[in-house]
Amino acid sequence: MTTRPSKIVCVGRSYADHARELGNAVPDRPVLFIKPPSALSSLQNGIAWNTALGSCHYECELSLRIDRPLKAETDPLKALEAVGAVTLGLDLTLRDLQDELKTKGQPWERAKAYDGSCMLADWITAADAVNDWNNVHYTLHVNDGLRQKGDTSHLIFDIGALLAEISQVFTLEAGDVVMTGTPAGVAALQPGDQLKMTLQGKAQDYGGHGRLRTGRGC
């Protein structure tokens, strides 16, 4: 499926350890925000941002592709049936700018939804990659060092519940992307960094690679 998403729905603070590492309260319901389709980019394009706006942090996340519409679903198991494929993605965040906007009580879009702020690896059919939605594991290595280790059993809200909650607010259309949130270990990208994301599938591991490139002040 190559349908361009109408939106990319992101979940913030979905792992308690990540919320704590940024000094945020652990939420009692999912924190949702949206990136526009223009935020989407391929890892093959490399990572770049306007360094005049400050640091850029990586956030590795399990990402879902919705293959059939989902609206006002209350059953988490039925909500999961809308997922056709999975991959790993980077929710790139201009952290200094985000902190400034939060201090001013302003929305985060400038720091979270800019062009190129959502980078996805290749899609994998969900049936090939996932045996148990509560037991999905993935990692992010930067320059061969382990930086993030994701385990969906540690999510504050399980994936089915997340999708059901999202569908109460936003109708998910075929092709839409849901980024399920990042575990602890986020940090600023540095010149020359090489990133490797690995998703543990049912029969094999799936990888995606990214690198920093020059441009846009990077």
Dmax (CA) of the chain: 48
Partnered with residue 187 across adjacent β-strands are 58
**Is residue 157 situated within a structural domain?**
yes
Read off the pTM: 0.92
User: Per the domain annotation, does 20 fall within a domain?
Assistant: yes
**Within-domain flag for 125:** yes
Domain with 97 in it: what CATH number? 3.90.850.10
**DSSP category for residue 192:** T
**Total of domains in the chain:** 1
| Alpha helix ranges (H) inside the chain | 16-21, 76-80, 95-103, 109-112, 126-129, 159-169
Q: Which two tokens stand for residue 3?
A: 């349908």
> Per DSSP, what are the bridge partners of residue 34?
9
pLDDT tens for the chain, 218 residues long, are 567 899 999 998 887 776 677 676 777 888 999 999 999 998 888 888 889 999 999 999 999 999 999 999 999 999 999 999 999 999 999 999 999 999 999 998 999 999 999 999 999 999 999 999 999 999 999 999 999 999 999 999 999 999 999 999 999 999 999 999 999 899 999 988 999 999 999 878 888 776 665 444 43
Closest residue by Cα to residue 11 from 36, 33, 37: 33
